[in-house]
Structure 1
Amino acid sequence: METNELHRGRLIDHIQLVVRDLEASQSFYEAVFGVLGVPMGGAGDGYFWADELFVSTAGSEAAQGQLTGRHHLAFQAKDRATVDAFHQAALAHGGKDNGAPGERPYHPGYYAAFVLDPDGNNIEAVYHGEAKRSAPSVKVTF
């Protein structure tokens, strides 16, 4: 029997979205990340990034000329007010409502808002409430 320890904290190394209109996407993500307290990492000809999200045009080398499909990305919010502000900022910067801020039935305290970004990706801000804020260390046995 083999025992592996999984590191909990940052599951995703990075995600790339390939978009039709980089300027519209950059305006949208700068606004919602500003509300969420996530600084923009940088930008260049045909791309920008923040934290582990890399957004580029189809003309970028990494995109290989193809737009990405529709995705659901959920970003953590520090409280309910931040979820509300995320929703407002998203709508003011090209997002479309896909679920107003409110409690969801996923677990007690799950408070979220959903918007579609300029490319139709389902973007969520979620606050899990006090009961779900800490994640335990996990050991997996195979």
Structure 2
Amino acid sequence: MATQTLHRGRLIDHLQLVVNDLESSRRFYAAVFDVLGVPIGGSGEDYFWADELFVSSAASRAAQGALTGRHHLAFQARDRAMVDAFHRAALAHGGRDNGAPGERAYHPGYYAAFVLDPDGNNIEAVHHGDADRSAASVEISF
């Protein structure tokens, strides 16, 4: 049996998006995650996952046969250039602009971009400005 590694200790444990067109979403998220440096963790006939995000078709067991509707989720970006690259990659792979890269009034240094994924979910990449972390995450292997 292969060892799996999970990262825990961030604000979000996991999110699930139930999508109409899994292949469109797979292409979209593969491009966005490539820019953000997040590998696709695994996939199957009716799902794929990366880090804390699980994306499935309505036919998946986890979805229980229903589309979940519009969601907003934000990915952490290392710097402003990564936010910019996220926006470009998302638009080039089926996303629609929902807020070009720029500073937002949420707090000083909040730099973000927003796109709508192929199912209309509001996806954000954000850099909160320069900060020190005690650790990137807690690594759990099993």
Q: Rate the CA distance shift 1:133–1:111 in 2: closer, same or farther, 3 A.
A: farther
Bigger Cα Rg: 1
Residue 108 of structure 1 pairs with residue 114 of structure 2:
no
Among all aligned residue pairs of Structure 1 and Structure 2, give the percentage whose two residues are the same amino acid: 80
Consecutive unaligned residues of structure 2, counting only runs of 5 or more, are 1-7, 135-142
- Show CA shifts across 1:94-138 (max 9, x none): 0000000001111111100000000000000000111x5548xxx
Distance 2:45 2:133 in 1: 39
* Partner in structure 1 of residue 17 of structure 2: 17
Consecutive unaligned residues of structure 1, counting only runs of 5 or more, are 1-7, 136-142
Q: CA deviation at 1:10?
A: 1.8
Count of paired positions: 127
Residue 68 of structure 1 pairs with residue 62 of structure 2:
no
Distance 2:61 2:34 in 1: 28
More helix by share: 1
State the one-letter code of the partner of 1:59. A
Match runs of 1:60-99 below 5 Å: 60-99=60-99
State the one-letter code of the partner of 1:119. D
Structure 2 length-normalised TM: 0.85
Q: Rate the CA distance shift 1:104–1:50 in 2: closer, same or farther, 3 A.
A: same
Match runs of 1:49-68 below 5 Å: 49-68=49-68
RMSD: 1.4
Distance 2:10 2:128 in 1: 17
SS in 2 for 1:100: coil
Structure 1 length-normalised TM: 0.85
Distance 2:10 2:108 in 1: 23
Q: CA deviation at 1:79?
A: 0.4
State the one-letter code of the partner of 1:36. L
